């Protein structure tokens, strides 16, 4: 995709000498990056600096992802912008050992797309709470217990646990 060319850095220029830098400041939609997820609600901002070492390139910076999700207890709509720190190493295939978790430099090219994609997927809001002490909703009547209350008897439990209670009483 031509639009993603800004996220591909020529490593030959960068590896001419250690300490050379290339800065990438780019905004792109998540779907252009190959991440289609309704929790990402706007463009992703990529602000990364590639710095050459002797035979590797370190990519460091921040990726910002606007997101929305629901509190898993009370289902309130939540949104925010995740600020994701990126710190990755790129190495040529020749320098790469079997245990290295570096990204490959292929055809003299540092492709930032797979690294950015990986970080986005890891940071997708999962299991979020509106606040740590969210009281959730009543499982019986559905009232939001953060803002209201009800008289439901929520002590009714699964019958399967009753046998365990009997065992404990015998002790
Ligand atoms: Zn909540
Ligand atoms: Zn209730």
List pLDDT tens digits, range 63-115: 999 999 999 999 999 999 999 999 999 998 777 777 778 999 999 999 999 99
Q: Is the same domain home to 156 and 75?
A: no
Contact 94, 38 (CB under 8 A): no
Q: Is the same domain home to 111 and 155?
A: no
For residue 149, what are the domain limits? 135-171
For 17-42, what is the mean pLDDT? 96
Question: Do the domain assignments include residue 128?
Answer: no
Q: Is the same domain home to 15 and 62?
A: yes
Q: Is the same domain home to 98 and 151?
A: no
Q: How far apart are CA 88 and CA 116, in angstroms?
A: 10
Q: Is the same domain home to 163 and 113?
A: no
Question: Do the domain assignments include residue 129?
Answer: no
Amino acid 55: pLDDT: 87
Location of structure tokens 């031509």: 2
Question: Do the domain assignments include residue 111?
Answer: yes
Give the ligand at the shortest distance from the Cα of 142: 2
Q: What is the distance in A from the centroid of ligand 1 to the CA of 67?
A: 16
Q: Is the same domain home to 41 and 76?
A: yes
Q: What is the distance in A from the centroid of ligand 1 to the CA of 26?
A: 34
Band (pLDDT 50/70/90 cuts) for residue 152 is: very high
Give the ligand at the shortest distance from the Cα of 75: 1
Contact 67, 82 (CB under 8 A): yes
Give the ligand at the shortest distance from the Cα of 130: 1
Instruction: Provide the residues around ligand 2 (an ion) whose CB is within 5 A.
Output: 138, 140-141, 150, 152
Q: Is the same domain home to 17 and 68?
A: yes
Query: Into how many domains does the chain fold?
Result: 2
Amino acid 166: pLDDT: 60
Question: Do the domain assignments include residue 64?
Answer: yes
Question: Do the domain assignments include residue 130?
Answer: no
Report residue 33 CA to chain centroid gap.
14
Q: Is the same domain home to 105 and 49?
A: yes
Question: Do the domain assignments include residue 93?
Answer: yes
Q: What is the distance in A from the centroid of ligand 1 to the CA of 95?
A: 49
Tokens of 118: 């990986």
Q: How far apart are CA 35 and CA 117, in angstroms?
A: 7
């Amino acid at each position: 995709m031509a639009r993603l060319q800004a996220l591909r850095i020529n490593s030959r220029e960068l590896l001419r000498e250690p300490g050379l830098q290339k800065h990438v400041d780019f905004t792109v939609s998540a779907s252009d990056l190959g991440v289609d997820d309704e929790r990402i609600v706007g463009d992703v901002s990529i602000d990364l600096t590639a710095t050459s070492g002797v035979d590797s390139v370190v990519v460091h910076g921040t990726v910002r992802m606007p997101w929305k999700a629901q509190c898993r207890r009370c289902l309130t709509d939540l949104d925010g912008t995740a600020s994701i720190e990126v710190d990755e190493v790129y190495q040529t295939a020749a320098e790469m050992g079997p245990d290295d978790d570096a990204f490959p430099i292929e055809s003299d090219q540092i492709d930032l797309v797979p690294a950015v994609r990986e970080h986005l997927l890891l940071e997708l809001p999962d299991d979020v709470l509106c606040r740590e002490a969210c009281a959730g909703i009543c499982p019986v009547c559905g009232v939001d217990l953060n803002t209201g209350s009800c008289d439901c008897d929520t002590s009714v439990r699964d019958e399967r646990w009753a046998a365990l209670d009997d065992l404990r009483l015998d002790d």
